[in-house]
Structure formats: structure tokens, C-alpha cells
Amino acid sequence: MQLDGSVCLVTGASGGIGRALACALAAEGAHLILSGRDEARLAETVDAVDTSRCLACYGGDLRDATTLNHLAQLAARHEASVLFNVSGANQLGLFESASDEDIEALIGINLVAPMQLTRRLLPLLRARPQAAIVNVGSAFGAIGHAGYVNYCASKFGLRGFSEALSRELADCAVRVIHVAPRATRTAMNSAVATRLNQVLGNAEDPPDVVAQAVLAAVRGNRKRIAVGWPERFFIRLNQMLPGVVDRALGGKLMLVKQTLQSAGAQE
Ligand SMILES: NC(=O)c1ccc[n+]([C@@H]2O[C@H](COP(=O)([O-])OP(=O)(O)OC[C@H]3O[C@@H](n4cnc5c(N)ncnc54)[C@H](OP(=O)(O)O)[C@@H]3O)[C@@H](O)[C@H]2O)c1
């Protein structure tokens, strides 16, 4: 798909991956509608991209219908052809310690909001000669992991949504792309999450590596990509031989619990 000259709506643009993606899209010649909650950080993203590429900016909570409706109006006004659902949040801690509100909040931002925004934009995207919906999931959307139960549930849901919608739209020009980054160096990962990654030996990518992988997926007509090795291998292994991954991760459960305990963490 040609990104040069296209209009792209990017959620999560005040965050690490969203900002890197906005910069990469602008460099590619795309025009941008940017969204995030923190208006100061959103303004920093606008400063980081070529300002002439930025058509509109909107700060608001995506769990709020007013934000979704406003973004849909902006997308219609500027004839957007690509939606990047990047916004998201994480929760690290044992499932027993999570409240009902924690569960609702995380499923709300990681799964419900991208679905509701996508639904609002679909008639517009269908009317374009070429269009795409890019959902930024996670390797934890294909591998269940202790300490990240709510996050995994939300990202497994996003992957299911992407696959089912892609198949439902197979007879039109709207492509649905699911991208699964591994751990990435952004504000999403607290000090405890970063320590846990170190303890478990999980590599962290810089956000621009993820941004380039997203662009490559869009250009290369890919429906699903996972970023990083050996995560790509473990995703396949988990699909084919989940018992092997049960045993491998089971051996690390004590490390997860010890790291959470030592941090007194329920984030
Ligand atoms: N970092 C990782 O290790 C990693 C790994 C795999 C996948 N991912 C996924 O990559 C995506 C981007 O994450 P990131 O690493 O760039 O994290 P980040 O730097 O924390 O950025 C998260 C973005 O989501 C926005 N957001 C969060 N809650 C929101 C809400 N209720 N309404 C509107 N916007 C909201 C944030 O807005 P404000 O900051 O303005 O509130 C921010 O722009 C997420 O979907 C994440 O799950 C991240």
C-alpha cells in the first residue's frame, strides 16, 4: 500500500511507539491526524514530526464516546485511509490482586476502544480505493504470561478481532493488519516491568524498530507480523505445542513472583 500522500489517523501518538510511528509516516510522505490523552506529550509529537504533515490533533480518552466521535469526524473531514490503533496500557501484577475496575479499564483501552473506533471509521475506509486498519497488539496477544493476565486477555482479544475482521473484509479493499511487538523501550514499561524483562532475559526494542516493522507490514501487504526473535518462534511453538511453552514458562514462574514481591508491585 502506498503511504506517500495518504492520510493516517494514529492513536497513542503521545506515547513511545505512536510517536516513532508518526515520525516514520511523516518521513514516508503521509499526512497525519494524531490522538493521545496527554496534550503536552501530543504537542511534543507534533514538534517531532514535520509540522506541515500534521492535519489535526485531538487529546481525549478513547474510552469516551465523545473522543471516538470526534476522531471519526476528523477522519471523515480529511478523508483518512489508514487507521493505526496504537494506544494501549499495561498492568503488571498477579491476577488475584486486580480489581474489577482494573480489568474493565484495561479491556476498555486495549480492546473495546480500537473496536469501537474501527467500527466508526469503516464506512469511510470502505469508500477509499485503498485502505488499512493496523492494530498494534503484542507478543502477549499470542503467549499467555504470568504477571500479565489482564494484558494478555486484552491483546489476545485484539488479535482475534483483527483476524476475524480481516476475513470479514476479504471481499473489499480494506486490509486489516495485526502487529505484535515484543517488549519495547517506552514509558509503558515501569521500572519493575523492565527489571522483570532483565530477570527473564527478554530483549527490548527501541520504538523506531517497531515503527519500521509496522511500515514494512503496511507496504508489504502483510496481515500479521511479530517483531523480534526468538519471540516469533515462541509464538509459533505456543500455537503448535502449548505444553512445551507451559513447561518453559512454568520454570520461570518463581522468578516472576519473586520480582513482583520484591517490588511490592501491583501496577
Ligand atoms: N512498550 C512495550 O513493551 C510494548 C510491547 C508490545 C506492545 N505494545 C503496545 O504498543 C502500543 C503503544 O505502547 P507504547 O509502548 O508506545 O506505550 P506508551 O508510551 O505508554 O504509550 C501509550 C499510548 O496510549 C495512550 N493511551 C493510554 N490510555 C489511553 C486512553 N484511555 N485513551 C487514549 N489514549 C490512551 C497514551 O496516551 P497518554 O500517554 O497521552 O495518556 C499513549 O499515547 C500499546 O498498544 C502497547 O500495548 C507495547
Q: Which ligand 1 atom is nearest residue 14's CA?
A: 43
Helix H segments across 78-148? 100-107, 113-126
Q: Are 194 and 216 spatial neighbours (Cβ–Cβ below 8 Å)?
A: no
Residue 108 in grid coordinates: 476498555
Q: How many A from CA of 125 to the centre of ligand 1?
A: 24
Break the chain into its structural domains and give their ranges.
Answer: 7-263
What's the topology of domain 7-263?
Rossmann fold (3.40.50)
Q: What is the mean pLDDT of residues 163-170?
A: 98
Confidence grade of residue 266 (pLDDT, cut at 50, 70, 90): very low
Distance between CA atoms of residues 103 and 97, nearest Å: 11
Q: Is the pLDDT of residue 201 over 90?
A: yes
Pocket mutation for ligand 1, best pick of 17, 21, 185, 225 (most atoms within 8 Å of C-beta):
17
Give the single-character DSSP code of 138: -
Centre of ligand 1 to C-alpha 15, Å, is 6
Mean pLDDT of 22-40: 97
253-to-50, 52, 79, 196, 250 alpha-carbon distances in Å: 46, 49, 48, 11, 5
pLDDT at 51: 85
For a mutational test of ligand 1's pocket, the pick from 14, 182, 208, i.e. the residue with the most ligand atoms closer than 8 A to its C-beta, is 14
This prediction has a pTM of: 0.97
**Residue 241 Cα, ligand 1 centroid: separation in angstroms?**
31
Q: Nearest 5°: CA angle at 237, between 236 and 241?
A: 130
| CB 74 near ligand 1, within 6 Å | no
- Report whether residue 118 contacts ligand 1, using a CB cutoff of 6 Å: no
Which grid cell is 13? Answer: 501518538
Residue 147 Cβ inside 6 Å of ligand 1? The answer reads no
Confidence of residue 104 (pLDDT cuts 50, 70, 90): very high
CB 12 near ligand 1, within 6 Å: yes
CA–CA separation, 20 vs 206, rounded Å?
A: 9
Q: What is the 14 CA–ligand 1 centroid distance (Å)?
A: 8
Mean pLDDT to the nearest integer, 102-117: 98
Ligand 1: nearest atom to the Cα of 204 = 3
Residues comprising the chain, all counted: 267
For residues 151 and 90, the answer to whether their CB atoms sit within 8 Å is: yes
Can you tell me the distance from the alpha carbon of 181 to that of 148, in angstroms, rounded to the nearest whole number?
15
pLDDT at position 267: 46
Helix orientation angle between 100-107 and 149-168, rounded to the nearest 10 degrees: 30
Q: Is 114 in the pocket of ligand 1 (CB under 6 A)?
A: no
Half-sphere exposure of 222 (CA within 13 A, CB side): 16
Q: Which residues are catalytic?
A: 151
Indicate the average pLDDT of the chain: 96
- Closest residue CA from atom 26 of ligand 1: 87
| pLDDT band (50, 70, 90) for residue 50 | confident
